[in-house]
Amino acid sequence: MARDRQIALLFPGQGSHSADMRDTVERHRPDLLELAFEEVGPDLFERAADGTRWAQPAIYCAALAGAEELGTEADVMAGHSLGEITALVAAGALDSEDGLRLVAARGRYMQEAADETGNGGMTAVRARDDNRDVIAEVAAANDVAIANDNAPGQLVLSGAVDALDSAEEQLRERGVRSKRLPVAGAFHSPLMEPAIEPFKAAVAAAQFSEPSVPVMSCVTAKPFEDIPAQLVRALTEPVRWLDVVRALDERGVTDYVETGPGTVLTNLVKKSLAMEAAGA
């Protein structure tokens, strides 16, 4: 029996920037441009590839503009990392101006934490059902965190560069492929702890309300309950995107619509559901 149609609206995280972000915002959410320029700088879209300080607010604005362009009525929403905040705004739990200020603060504090701790990075690892335990053991042995569980075939490790070097070598010896990512920070790991207190203060200054539809938390893979606390936890805890996709599937979601920029989440969902079906 076919499922009743259920739509999940997805909001991307860092790494999904594209060249047309500013144009999209100018067309569909011009009200955000002036505030974005005040909070971050007039060159934030041009500098989106230069670091999290610029990338996060640029992607936030573009994703909200993309949602406006789509006009999709969703039954549930989810966002990857910073995309959680965008999803909360789209669901009416936070107004777009406060959301932009919060994302700008988040990007700034994460960039400062990366600069303070120094020598942090992230590595994407080719995972399989039969090597996930090995990857977890190598990560623990080298004091690096599993920062993202993106799909059945992809985990991301986060930590100090020398620790990642050692972990990559040990994984290679075990036949596990990995690739260093072009980011200058150990995001979603304990090395982001310097960002916690200032971000907690920024979150406390924001006004939250009940979302119009459930919004999934990547910390718990369940709908947000304590929004401020879970947003702060997300700085140092893993992005459980695979578990979010599984939870959406269990809720009966039939259609996954990504706001953009990019199609990273669409591809992860397709891979996740296809591999889950093949393993069923």
Contacts of 279 (CB under 8 A, 6+ apart): 129, 152
Distance separating alpha carbons of residues 131 and 123, to the nearest angstrom: 16
Strands 120-126 and 178-180: what pairing? antiparallel
Bridge partners, 215 (sequence order): 77
Nearest of 251, 244, 229, 226 to residue 148 by alpha carbon: 244
How far apart CA 99 and CA 32 sit, in angstroms, is 10
| Strands 255-258 vs 120-126: parallel, antiparallel or unpaired | unpaired
Task: Say if residue 182 is exposed, middle or buried (CB neighbours under 10 Å; 0-12, 13-18, 19+).
Answer: exposed
Q: What is the number of other CB atoms lying within 10 angstroms of the CB of residue 65? A: 25
Q: 260: phi > 0 → left, psi -120 to 50 → alpha, else beta; which? A: left
Please, what sign has the CA dihedral across residues 193, 197, 198, 199?
Answer: positive
- List, in sequence order, the alpha helices (H) in 118-226: 132-141, 161-173, 196-205
Please give the positions annotated as active site: 81, 188
- CB atoms under 10 Å from CB of 147, counted, come to 24
